[in-house]
Amino acid sequence: MNKVLQFAILLSIFYLSAAPGARAQRTFRKLALGLEGGSTHHWSDMPVVDIRKHFGATADYFLTPYTLVGLEFQRGTLVGSEKQQPFRKFRNHYKSYSLTGKVHLGEFFSRNTTDYNPRREFVYNMLKGGYLGVGFGIMFDKQRYSIRNSKDESTYGFDKVTEFMFPLNIGWDTSAFEKRLIAGIKGQLNFIQGDNMDGYEQGDYNDVFGTVALTLKYRFGFEGRSRF
C-alpha cells in the first residue's frame, strides 16, 4: 500500500511539473540564423520613388527569450528620379552590414504559472512577439545610370561610396510560441549619415531608405534558462 501511495505521489508531482501552466522556468535556444526578403523605399533628393526588392540574412544571439543582439546583411536596389531639369536619376545596387539589438514586448510580461488558460496564453504570445530594435551599420553604394555634368553642381556625386547608417526597426514574430522556427514581419528605417545614397551630394538633408520584409529564422545551439 505504501508503495502504491508513493507511486501516486510521484506521478502527481511529475504531472504537475509537466503541465504548461506550472512551469516556473523555460529553456530557450540562444542562437538563430535567418533569411528575409521584401521591398525597398527611399527618402532622398529624388522625389519619384520606384519600389524595388531586397533580401537579407541574419545571425542572432539571444540573451533572454525576448532580447537579442545580431548581425544583419542586406542586398537590394534603390531607384529614383526627378521630373524637372536636369532630370537626374539613380539606381543604387547597395549592400549593408549592421549590428542591431532587439527587445520584444515579452520581456515585460510575467509568465502565468498558476492559472493556465490556453486562449489567454495565445493572446499573450501574440502580444509578446512585438519588438523594437536599433543598431549601427555600414552601407556600400554602387550607382548606375547617374547623370554627371561638370557644369552643373547638382549632378556632382560618387558612383561608389561607403556611408555609415543607423537602422531602426519595428516588427512582430512568433518568438513567444517556443518553437525553433520563427516567422515574422519587419519594417526598418535606415538613417544614412551622408547624402550620396541617391548618387548626388547636393541636398538639404541626409538620405533615408527603408525596407519591409518577411522574416524566417531557425533557433539552434546551446540552451539558456529563463524565469519567463
Distance CA 35, CA 74 (A): 10
Name the nearest CA neighbour of 195 among 157, 147, 166, 224.
157
Q: Is residue 3 part of a domain?
A: no
Q: Is residue 46 part of a domain?
A: yes
Integer angstrom CA distances of residue 113 from 26, 103, 162:
11, 23, 51
Q: In the chain, how many domains are there? A: 1
Three-class DSSP labels, 43-102: ECCCCEEECEEEEEEEEEEEEECCEEEEEEEEEEEEEEECCCCCCCEEEEEEEEEEEEEE
Q: Which three cell numbers stand for residue 112?
A: 502565468
Q: Is residue 169 part of a domain?
A: yes
**CATH number of 44's domain:** 2.40.160.20
Name the nearest CA neighbour of 197 among 167, 168, 163.
163
**Share in percent of the chain as helix, strand, coil (round to 5):** 20, 55, 25
Looking at residue 125, its pLDDT comes to: 87
β-strands 89-104, 160-173 pairing? unpaired
Indicate whether this model's pTM tops 0.75: yes
Q: Rounding to the nearest 10 degrees, give the CA dihedral for residues 211, 216, 222, 227.
A: 80
Looking at residue 18, its pLDDT comes to: 44
Looking at residue 111, its pLDDT comes to: 64
Name the nearest CA neighbour of 98 among 184, 191, 217, 174.
191
Q: Is residue 100 part of a domain?
A: yes
Q: Is residue 44 part of a domain?
A: yes
Cβ neighbours, 10 Å, residue 188:
24
Q: Is residue 23 part of a domain?
A: no
Provide Rg for the chain, Cα atoms: 24
Name the nearest CA neighbour of 95 among 110, 126, 73.
73
Query: pLDDT of the chain along its 228 residues, tens only?
Result: 555 555 445 544 444 444 444 445 678 889 999 999 999 999 988 889 999 999 999 999 999 999 999 999 999 999 999 888 888 889 999 999 999 999 999 998 776 656 777 888 888 889 999 999 999 999 999 998 887 888 887 788 888 999 999 999 999 999 988 889 999 999 999 999 988 898 888 777 899 999 999 999 999 988 777 655
Q: Is residue 192 part of a domain?
A: yes
* Domain around 111: 28-226
Looking at residue 13, its pLDDT comes to: 47
Looking at residue 21, its pLDDT comes to: 42
